[in-house]
Amino acid sequence: MLSDQNLPIDPQPPTADSFHTLDRETESTETWESDPGSCLRRLEAVLFLSREPLSSRRISEMAHLEDGTQARTMIAELNSRYDRVGRAFQIKRVGGGYQMLTRPHFADWIRRLDHVPGPLRLSAPAMETLTVVAYRGPIMKADIEAIRGVSSGEMLRQLLDQRLIRIAGRSEKLGRPFLYATTKEFLNIFGFNSVQDLPRAAQLCGTGLPDWVAIDNEAEPSKNDHLRRTL
């Protein structure tokens, strides 16, 4: 509840000096909003603190830029600066947005920090299943099993639990089985902007599965050769 002590006593009328001060503050704010250097620093600050990829439109809104085009132009400029001075980080386009990430060759040092998670570990069968879904999704369980040659229900459940794949709908075939596709989490973890960035089959010829994550060699033998032929 307000008392008399909360109210101004004998307020003074505004003077000409107070209006000049307000003008100077407004001018300073407008300069900060439009100055290219300030825009660049605002964008950098937004990306520095973001915990997930941001679209160029969202970046422009948060950094008070003109539009997504300006945000993309400034991201390219920042990356150019980082490359020139050899910064340990860069801005990458992943998961449909932009995120500030450390460069891959610093991974061994960064993982020594307690709060940094270790590499995602998948068994060879889980990796095979994930690769099929990534390249062929949305795909039915029956088609995954036809490609791998073995039952894949347990692998699909594991990948769903790890949020690497999702149920993307139902097929129009008899029984309307589920269709499986990769998630945004998958794109973020493996550094892809979309599934269109996956290496093509010709690039994988003779190399087996992509070296995305650590594979548990103690798991059951994989069928890499069979899988590679079917991708």
Local structure of residue 138 (DSSP, 8 states): S
What is the chain's pLDDT, residue by residue, as a tens digit (231 residues)? 444 434 333 445 545 554 454 445 444 444 445 577 889 999 999 999 988 899 999 999 999 998 999 999 999 999 999 999 999 999 998 888 999 988 888 888 887 887 777 777 888 999 999 999 999 989 999 999 999 999 999 999 999 999 999 999 998 888 899 999 999 889 888 888 888 888 876 555 555 544 544 445 444 444 444 433 344
Per-position b or e across 186-208, b if 16+ CB within 10 A of its CB: bbbbbebbeeeebeeeeebeeee
CA distances (Å), origin 179, targets 138, 154, 195 = 5, 16, 16
Q: Which single residue is written with the structure tokens 């309307």?
A: 176
Tell me phi and psi for residue 103, to 5 degrees.
-75, 145
With contact defined as beta carbons under 8 Å apart, do 195 and 182 qualify?
A: yes
Count CB-CB contacts under 10 A for residue 229. Answer: 11
